[in-house]
Structures are given as C-alpha cells and as structure tokens.
C-alpha cells in the first residue's frame, strides 16, 4: 500500500501539500503541528516528486474545516484536481482537508476520476480503489464527528458555567468584572451618563429623539477600554443611535445575567447552507436567564417596556406597529386604521417635500387587491387637531407644576453629569501635575513627556469648562426666573405650544399618541361625500365626527370666504389684483392649494368666480397697442407682423435675437417693447420661416389653393 500505488502518471503532475489549522490561536500556540505539516514536503520528495513540483497551500491557516466557505486554498486545490494538474494531495491527517463528510466525499470523487492519490504521514490511498475509498470515507466521517463531540463538550462546559452566572461575557459600558461578579462602574460620571440615557428614553418618543436631545445638549457618552496589562481608560464620544439601540436591547442593564440570546442556526442564505446567528428577542427562548444577578440601572419591567416601545417604533408596512414619530407632515401616521378592512393606513406624499399628502389603505397585497381607498390627509389632521385642543383641558396648576418639576429634574441631572466630568478631568490634571513635579529635573526626556501630558490634561479641563458654560447658556442647563415663567405660561396654554414654530412635527405626533390610542377612517358617499372619523382615546372613550371629503374637482377650489372677500375688494374699494393679494395675505387667507396670494392667483380666482372689471373702472385692463409712438413693436404687434404666436416672439426676446426692453406703459406695470430694424427684421423673418405655426399655416394655404378634383398620389 505504500510505494506501488504511485505511478509515473502521478509523478508527472504536481503534488500539493495542504496545511491548515482551525484558529489563529492554534497557529500561534501549536507550532509543532505547523512544522509537521510543512515536513510533508520532504515526504513528497522522498516518494519521487522533484522539490520544484511540490506546491504548498497554506493560505487557509486559521480557518475552520467545517465547510468550504472562506477556504480559498481548498477551492484552488479542488479546481486543479478537476483540471488534471495534480497527482497527489499530502495532508497530515484527513481532518486538515475537511471536517465535513459532504465536502470530503466530493473531493474523493474528484480524486478518483482524476487519478489523484491522497497521502498522509503513514500511508498512500487511492480513492479509485474501493478498499482505500472506504477507509478514507470512515476517516472523514470520524473527523466530522470528532468536531461535533469537541463542540458538544466545549458548549456544555460553557453553558454549565453560564448557568451559575460565572462565565465571563462581554460586558457593556457601565459595568466591570470583579471577584464577586458584575459590579457597577466605580466612575460616578459613567454611572450618571448611563442612568441619564435610560431616564431620557422614558420621556422621549423614540431612540432618535434621545440622540437628537443628546446632540442639542452637548451630552457625550463614555466607553471604557480594557488593555492587555489590566489597565483601563474612558473615552467620551457623542451618542449614536446604534449604540443606544444596543443599550436598550441589552438585558444586563436590567440586572439580568443572560447567555445564548443569539444562537447559531443552519439556514439557506442565497441558495447556500450557512450558519448564521438569529436575533432571539423572546426572553423565554434564551438558554440562560438569571434575573437579579447583579445591580441594574433599570428594572426588568422597564426593560420589557423598552422592547415593546422599540417594536412599536419599528415601522412595518401594513403591520401592527405604529412606527416612531417622525418629521413628516402627516400627523396621524401610525394611528390611522382603515374602517373598511381594519388594516393600517399609511401616508403617501405626492412628491419630495410636497405639502400634499393622503392616508392610503393598500388593502390585501397577498391577495393582489388594489388600493382599498385613500383620503386627503390635511383635512383629517385639521379636524383631529381641533378635537384634541378642544377636548384636552388638564388642570392648569397641576400641569404647570408637573412640567416645571420635570424640567428642573432634567436640568439638575445634566448639570450633575457635567460636574462629574469636570471633577474627573480636574483629578487627571492634578495627577499629571504631581507626576511632572516628582520626576528628576535632570531626566529631561521623561520630564518633557510628563510636561506635555500635564498640558494636555489642562487643555481638556479648560475645554470641558467652556463646553459646560456654553451648554448652560444655549441649552438652559440651569433655569433662570424668566425660563420658569415661560414654562408656566406654556404649560397653561396647550394651543400655543401646539402651534409654536419651534414645535416639530415629531413632537406634535408624540403629543397625539399620549392621549389617542387609534383613529378609524371610513368613507361615506351618501347623502354627501365625507369621512367618518372615530377617535379612540387612551381612557377608553370614543369620539365620532364627520369631515367633508371633497372630490378632485373641488379639493383645491378657492375657499368661499376668500372669493367673497375678493368680490368686496373689487366692487367696494376698486383695488388692483396685486393690492388685493397683499390685503388677503395680511388677513391670513390662503389659496385653494394652501399658498400665499399673488396677482395671478387673484386674477385666476376672479375669472372663475366671474368677478369682472370694466375698462373705465380698471384702466390697466385696456389693450396694449401693436406699436409704440416711437415705432417700437409690442409682443402682439411683432407676432402679427411675422405671422407667429406671441409665445414665439417672447422666446426670441429671451434668446436675445431682438433688442427688447421691459417698461411701464400707462396703467400697465410692465410691457415688452421690441426695436426691430432691417437687420433684426431679416433675422426674425428667417426664424419665423422655421416656426411650426408658420409651416402649418403655409400647408393649410397650399391645400386651400389646390384645384378641385386634384388627387394626391400616394
């Protein structure tokens, strides 16, 4: 079984020495195994291969043999075997080649077809021989099972240790490992920062709102780094939303020791079998869960509440979650349900940053059902807002005191956080000063280094103090008497807070969700088009109202009160369209599409409402003459001379083909006058010949001149 199975055909091809160890730690610590694998080159030379014909594949070092994913060396070896370039494969043992029976059998099949032998330290095997193939398959099966047995022993030991809460897991910021287990971070500034974030999430509608508040107030979040020599340090950086999500989902902050939250499962991913980690969100499915194992920053009930809030804020199209309050104009996003089918209605904006939007029920997408129905969102939002401001009337004094107390608590918490950081920076600066003063002055190298460190700590302290002073001034970390008076005034006036320009759309949505559980919308067509709105409050009460639902023809019609006001200003005060627009804007009236008025909008509204002026009453409506007294042409006059439309002449002016000037003429505020000399006339005549209107007119004239009975030949 040794020398006789290697033929000249094998020696004419190259030999591959495949080297692999499963982890980087094995590569670093098990050097003897690596040397034994490289020694297979000498074995190949002893069996007859020239040293130059032996190729070493060691690029798979530190990669597991449980599969072929990530093993580029194994893939290249299989490619060369399939193309007849390899005569023998050398490996210390079968487990180096593969610990998967399926991959091992595929490689053996390739070797048998390509007449490739497999060589280890003791024997030479021919996969084409039935006896050798059976031995290799048994070795591959044992290699796979050995990996499973090792995994079971290691996993069982880890789980047993974790069941006692003794397994050291990766811990988040705010905790340290001690001999007694997990303990709160001894740094008070770190503790305050963690507690402040959780307290803020209790009052903010979403994680993004907490991050936005942290950026506005200048709050930084700590990260404790552990070094190999056992020392640690803390760095402060702005709070990110991904970091905040990790904190909110981590049960360690709730005092629970947890192991096996994200187990590995074998799944099909893009048509390939892979082992992936699944997100275990159900606490009952975790392998180990020990509540009250250590001190927590929040309670377990608060942790569960946070998970429910995260789930509700995660927007799922047509799903059960409401989604987080965002900056879109649709105020009822996440609250609106379809009164027909019960599905959640979603906002649909007409264009990017468009003020027009609608609430749409997409119906049953799985059943290929088209849109169930939709309704304009602005009218529904105005009706619900009016209902909210009329219904919600809390006790003024109680609300005032609650708001003032909450603002005081937030300001005091922020101020303590800033002072803790300044205290820590002061300690580090004094410590650097003591180290600098304790060094021997003659040792200038060390003295210069310590001096630079001292100066750096002093700069960091000065920056922190400046940032604290800026935060107190800009973000009101400390409330003045004027601030307290403003808080009391706003607490008594909910409409003022609602309509304030500083109140964001997300804030209004959050206020709505505090009192409203859900809103059902149902279309009504008889006896008149309307939307039946059913508001369910958190108290359990239900309020119903009908909101007019105009069709497409009347949706953007000018409001009747604006039409009557225009009629009064035209007939009563005889104002021009521009003056009427200024008066309507001053009175707070809007057009049918919700925009401010201008002269053209007033003229359009007058024409459609049949509000006309006579030439005597409105001299600016008198027609413009075709030619000026000085010989210049108006747009209409030039269009008539060259047989084109006024729009074509206007394009000539914009292109600079003819000298033109915009001037006031009589009561007309701005009229284009064109100076057409011989050169300009010739130039415009050539342009007029190329005009589509001129060509159509010429063709029509030709058809009129065609004699009777003349037939066009196809």
Determine the pLDDT at residue 391.
78
Determine the pLDDT at residue 7.
86
Separation CA 502–CA 496 (nearest Å): 11
Determine the pLDDT at residue 482.
65
Mean pLDDT comparison of 212-221, 348-357, 466-475, highest-scoring range: 212-221
pLDDT: is 544 or 151 the higher one? 544
User: How sure is the predictor about 517, in pLDDT bands with cuts at 50, 70 and 90?
Assistant: confident
Same domain flag for 613 and 592: yes
DSSP letters of 19-87?
Answer: ---SSHHHHHH-HHHHHHHHTHHHHHHHTT--GGGEEEE-TTTT--SSSSTT-HHHHHHHHHHHTT-EE
383 part of a folded domain: yes
Q: Per the structure block, which two tokens stand in for 159? A: 């789980």
362 part of a folded domain: yes
Determine the pLDDT at residue 2.
43
Determine the pLDDT at residue 706.
45
Domain boundary among 117, 145, 160: 160
Domain boundary among 160, 190, 217: 160
Average pLDDT, the chain: 79
pLDDT reading at 473 higher than 60: no
683 part of a folded domain: yes
CB burial of 622-654 (b: ≥16 within 10 Å; e: otherwise) equals eeeeebbeeebbbbbbbbebbebeeebbeebbe
pLDDT: is 320 or 269 the higher one? 269
Local structure of 465: helix, strand or coil: helix
Same domain flag for 602 and 692: no
Tell me the pLDDT tens digit for each residue of 566-589. 988 888 877 888 889 999 999 888
550 part of a folded domain: no
Determine the pLDDT at residue 533.
93
User: How sure is the predictor about 713, in pLDDT bands with cuts at 50, 70 and 90?
Assistant: very low
Contact status, residue 417 vs residue 370, Cβ threshold 8 Å: no
User: How sure is the predictor about 4, in pLDDT bands with cuts at 50, 70 and 90?
Assistant: very low
Determine the pLDDT at residue 270.
67
Same domain flag for 616 and 469: no
pLDDT reading at 344 higher than 80: yes
Boundaries of domain holding 440 = 396-492
Determine the pLDDT at residue 521.
92
Mean pLDDT comparison of 365-369, 398-402, 699-703, highest-scoring range: 365-369
Separation CA 69–CA 33 (nearest Å): 23
Same domain flag for 484 and 497: no
Determine the pLDDT at residue 1.
37
Closest residue by Cα to residue 428 from 464, 399, 383:
464
Rounded alpha-carbon distances, angstroms, from residue 55 to 10, 41, 81, 110: 14, 8, 13, 19
Same domain flag for 525 and 382: yes
Mean pLDDT comparison of 240-249, 421-430, 551-560, highest-scoring range: 240-249
Determine the pLDDT at residue 699.
46
The pTM score is 0.49
Which residue is associated with the tokens 């080297």?
Answer: 19
pLDDT: is 614 or 9 the higher one? 9
Beta strand pairing status for 54-57 and 14-18?
Answer: parallel
Mean pLDDT comparison of 100-114, 265-279, 366-380, highest-scoring range: 100-114
Determine the pLDDT at residue 710.
38
Q: Which of 317-331, 369-383, 472-486 has the lowest mean pLDDT?
A: 472-486
User: How sure is the predictor about 6, in pLDDT bands with cuts at 50, 70 and 90?
Assistant: confident
pLDDT, average across residues 473-492: 56
Determine the pLDDT at residue 318.
46
Same domain flag for 69 and 124: yes
Determine the pLDDT at residue 471.
62
pLDDT reading at 152 higher than 70: no
Tell me the pLDDT tens digit for each residue of 425-449. 777 777 777 776 666 666 665 666 7
pLDDT: is 693 or 218 the higher one? 218
302: left (phi > 0), else alpha (psi -120 to 50), else beta?
Answer: alpha
CATH code where residue 95 lies? 3.40.50.1390
* Residue 467 dihedral angles phi and psi, to the nearest 5°: -65, -35
Separation CA 481–CA 498 (nearest Å): 23
pLDDT, average across residues 2-13: 76
Q: Per the structure block, which two tokens stand in for 18? A: 């495949």
Same domain flag for 104 and 32: yes
Separation CA 300–CA 291 (nearest Å): 8
500 part of a folded domain: yes
pLDDT: is 681 or 181 the higher one? 681
Helix or strand holding residue 411 (H, E): helix 396-438
Determine the pLDDT at residue 468.
66
pLDDT reading at 366 higher than 80: no
Determine the pLDDT at residue 541.
85
Percent of the chain scoring above 70 in pLDDT: 78
pLDDT reading at 35 higher than 70: yes
Same domain flag for 43 and 120: yes
354 part of a folded domain: yes
Contact status, residue 288 vs residue 260, Cβ threshold 8 Å: yes
Separation CA 622–CA 628 (nearest Å): 15
Determine the pLDDT at residue 694.
54
Determine the pLDDT at residue 638.
92
Determine the pLDDT at residue 470.
65
Tell me the pLDDT tens digit for each residue of 158-176. 777 878 877 888 888 899 8
Which residue is associated with the tokens 């915009």?
Answer: 662
Q: Which of 40-49, 94-103, 273-282, 390-399 has the lowest mean pLDDT?
A: 390-399
Tell me the pLDDT tens digit for each residue of 645-688. 999 999 999 988 999 988 878 767 778 999 999 999 999 999 88
pLDDT, average across residues 268-285: 71
Domain count, the chain: 5
pLDDT, average across residues 267-284: 71
Determine the pLDDT at residue 702.
42
Same domain flag for 12 and 54: yes
191 part of a folded domain: no
pLDDT reading at 701 higher than 50: no
pLDDT: is 242 or 408 the higher one? 242
Catalytic residues: 22
Tell me the pLDDT tens digit for each residue of 108-131. 888 988 889 988 877 888 888 888
pLDDT reading at 253 higher than 90: yes
Separation CA 531–CA 525 (nearest Å): 9
User: How sure is the predictor about 407, in pLDDT bands with cuts at 50, 70 and 90?
Assistant: low
165 part of a folded domain: no
Same domain flag for 384 and 510: yes
User: How sure is the predictor about 273, in pLDDT bands with cuts at 50, 70 and 90?
Assistant: low
Same domain flag for 442 and 567: no
Vertex 72 angle, CA 66 and 77, to 5°: 95
pLDDT, average across residues 367-385: 80
pLDDT reading at 397 higher than 50: no
pLDDT: is 571 or 395 the higher one? 571
Same domain flag for 27 and 129: yes
Rounded alpha-carbon distances, angstroms, from residue 604 to 357, 581, 612: 24, 12, 11
């Amino acid at each position: 079984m040794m020398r006789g199975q290697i033929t000249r055909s094998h020696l004419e091809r190259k030999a591959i020495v495949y080297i692999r160890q499963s982890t980087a730690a094995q590569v670093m610590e098990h050097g003897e195994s690596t040397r034994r694998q490289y020694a297979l080159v000498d074995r190949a030379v002893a069996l007859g291969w020239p040293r130059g014909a032996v190729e070493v594949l060691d690029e798979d070092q530190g990669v597991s043999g449980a599969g072929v994913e990530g093993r580029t060396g194994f893939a290249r070896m299989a490619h060369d075997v399939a193309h007849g370039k390899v005569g023998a494969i050398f490996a210390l043992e079968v487990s180096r080649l593969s610990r998967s029976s399926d991959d091992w059998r595929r490689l053996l099949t390739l070797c048998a077809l390509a007449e490739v032998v497999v060589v280890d330290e003791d024997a030479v095997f021919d996969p084409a021989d039935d006896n050798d193939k059976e031995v290799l398959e048994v070795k591959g099966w044992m290699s796979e099972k050995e990996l499973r047995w090792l995994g079971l022993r290691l996993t069982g030991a880890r789980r047993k240790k974790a069941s006692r809460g003794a397994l050291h897991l990766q811990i988040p910021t705010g905790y340290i490992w001690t001999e007694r287990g997990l303990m709160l971070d001894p740094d008070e500034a770190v503790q305050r920062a963690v507690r402040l974030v959780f307290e803020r999430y209790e009052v903010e509608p979403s994680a993004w709102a907490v991050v936005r508040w942290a950026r506005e107030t200048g709050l930084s979040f700590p990260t404790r780094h552990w070094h190999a020599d056992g020392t640690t340090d803390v760095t402060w950086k702005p709070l990110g939303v991904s970091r905040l999500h990790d904190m909110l989902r981590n049960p360690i902050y709730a005092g629970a020791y947890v192991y096996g939250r994200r187990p590995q499962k074998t799944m099909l991913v893009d048509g390939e079998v892979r082992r992936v980690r699944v997100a275990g969100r159900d606490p009952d499915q975790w392998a180990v869960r020990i509540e009250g194992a250590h001190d927590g920053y929040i309670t377990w009930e608060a942790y569960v509440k946070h998970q429910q809030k995260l789930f509700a804020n995660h927007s799922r199209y047509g799903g059960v979650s409401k989604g987080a309050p965002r900056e879109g104009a649709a105020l009822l996003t996440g609250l609106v349900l379809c009164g027909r089918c019960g599905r959640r209605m979603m906002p649909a904006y007409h264009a990017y940053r468009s003020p027009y939007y609608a609430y749409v029920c997409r119906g049953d997408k799985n059943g290929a059902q088209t849109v169930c129905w939709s309704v304009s969102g602005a009218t529904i939002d105005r009706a619900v807002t009016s209902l909210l401001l009329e219904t919600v009337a809390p006790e003024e004094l109680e609300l005032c005191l609650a708001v003032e107390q909450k603002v005081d608590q937030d300001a005091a918490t922020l101020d303590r956080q800033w002072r803790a950081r300044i205290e820590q920076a002061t300690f580090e600066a004094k410590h650097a000063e003591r180290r600098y003063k304790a060094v021997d002055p003659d040792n200038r190298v060390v003295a210069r280094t310590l001096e630079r460190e001292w100066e750096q700590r002093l700069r960091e302290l000065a920056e922190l103090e400046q940032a604290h002073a800026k935060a107190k001034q800009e973000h009101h970390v400390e409330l003045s008497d004027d601030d307290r008076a403003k808080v009391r005034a706003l607490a008594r006036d909910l409409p003022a807070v609602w309509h304030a320009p500083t109140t964001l759309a997300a804030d209004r949505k959050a206020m709505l969700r505090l009192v409203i559980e859900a809103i059902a919308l149902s279309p009504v067509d008889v006896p008149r088009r309307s939307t039946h709105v059913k508001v369910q409050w958190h108290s359990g009460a239900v309020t119903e109202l009908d909101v007019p639902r105009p069709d497409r023809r009347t949706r953007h019609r000018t409001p009747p009160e604006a039409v009557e006001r225009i009629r009064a200003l035209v007939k009563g005060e005889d104002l021009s369209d521009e003056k009427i627009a200024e008066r309507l804007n001053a009175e707070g009236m809007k057009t049918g599409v919700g925009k401010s008025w201008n002269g053209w909008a007033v003229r359009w509204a007058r024409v459609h409402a049949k509000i006309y002026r006579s030439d005597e009453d409105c001299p600016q409506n008198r027609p413009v003459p075709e030619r000026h007294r000085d010989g210049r042409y108006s747009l209409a006059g030039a269009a008539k001379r060259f047989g084109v439309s006024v729009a074509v002449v206007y394009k000539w002016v914009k292109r600079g083909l003819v000298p033109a000037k915009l001037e006031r003429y009589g009561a007309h505020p701005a009229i284009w006058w064109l100076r057409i000399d011989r050169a300009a006339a010739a130039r415009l005549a050539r342009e007029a010949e190329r005009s589509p209107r001129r060509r159509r007119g010429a063709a029509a004239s030709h058809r009129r001149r065609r004699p009777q009975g003349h037939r066009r030949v196809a």
